[in-house]
Structure 1
Amino acid sequence: MRATHVPETGVITVREWPTPRATEPGTFVVRMTAASVCGSDLHAALHGTLHPMGPERAGYPGHEGVGVVAESNSQKFPEGTTVLCVPPGEFGGAFAEYMLLDDDHAVALPSDLDSNDLTQMRRYMMAQQLGTCIYAFDLYWPTEVPARTAGTCVIMGAGSAGLFFLQDAKRRGFKHIIVSDKQPARLDIARTLGARTVLIPDEDLGAVVSELTGNKGADLVIEAVGSDELRTQAVGIVAHRGIVGWFGLYESFEPTLVPIF
């Protein structure tokens, strides 16, 4: 089968690999239909977080995908089942024609779903990331007594994760939501969803936050890019006793500075 190969940081190729087989109980092989590139994949393949086993793994580093079970040794996922693939993120495997999974690393999709309908399959594929965003938001904005005031939420990055956070912030009742990004097309979507958008570097995010909050800072800042520079800025624009959520994965295994004061 054909699959990606990352022999070293900064090098991504496609080559032939042995097709996996479901030889162990509870395992199955998925014929991949679609896979998504996550920001953490870019860090792993191009920046400084290559897993030591990455060069030996077919389909690395992809970990978001959908497909149909082609061979099964699992009672839970028989052949023909359409599945959302959720492999361990550090190992991936989704950038391949076939991927070996086990019962703990997939979710069955509706049985009436047409696996040939790529539009529907891609929509279901995004459920993996949506789940991580909802889980993260629960951590960033915990239930407290008395409840925190959901005033201003800043989301750095208008990729798929940032847009999920935007919609969740609206659901949780934030009065003002600010979304920043370098891509106008992404910000167009964020604006349609009701956010005050900030195009970087044309606008100063800190100045916008200061103006909107009366110099108090944001109640919640979510960094959804994976940038040490933005993580530092997030600490600088959050309100006193506010919350910063670092969602974007680290750029390298090296230490980074955090403005404690």
Structure 2
Amino acid sequence: MTVPPAEPGASSSAEQVVAGLAKLSLVMRHEAWKASGRRGLTPTQSQILAVIAGSREPVGIKAVAEQLAVTAGTVSEAVTTLTDKGLVEKRTDPSDGRALVLVLTRAGRREAAKAAQWPEALRRAVEELPMAEQGGLLRGLAGMVRWLQAQGAVPTARMCVECRYFRPNAYPGSERAHHCQFIDAPIGDADLRLDCDDMETAPPQVRTRLWALLVEGRPLDEALAADYATSDPRSSIGTRGPKENRHD
């Protein structure tokens, strides 16, 4: 049977995906304004609180601006308002007396916890998807973020797929096919994280290989193990089978 040619002007699957993401962004923007407005904040101010709360190290205005992909001026203006509201304080950086870092007050921490919550409607929509589809969606998003990150279009993300603890396809055929060495446990596609506090960036050559192995469905290989050993002699690398009852 001959496959008929595509209709002139027909949208590609990529265009359809982008159209879908655009619809989701409208929901997120609407919900962000609604939620922030109830608390007397703008979405940018709420995002700044969330970034400060989620940072491992003290952050200043420049670091926050990089995380949000906005100008330092935008952050500075918002921080002034947050300071006036008693949500943020500027303090001297302990490691550099000439620099200032942003610290949340007690009220700021409460607001940051609220700001970190995702829109309920979107969360429920994702939960309605079968777990396998959630995993596939998460893998696709990780790939998009990874590409955009390489183009400098988005801030660096703390993703599993670029972490030195991530072992793709360690348990082929299993529902939880990958392994996280940080927690020493198997994880599935639906467990992958796009922003993990415990993520440690793997060397460049390893990050490229990790993604290729994940996409190709192959486990860690000896070449990758050698890359790890070269970059960090302390790192013990290698594929291994799951412990007994590991998936329970």
**TM-score per shorter chain, which class?**
under 0.3
Higher relative contact order (Cα pairs below 8 Å, separated by 6+ residues) = 1
Report the TM-score when normalising by structure 1: 0.23
Of Structure 1 and Structure 2, the greater strand share is in 1
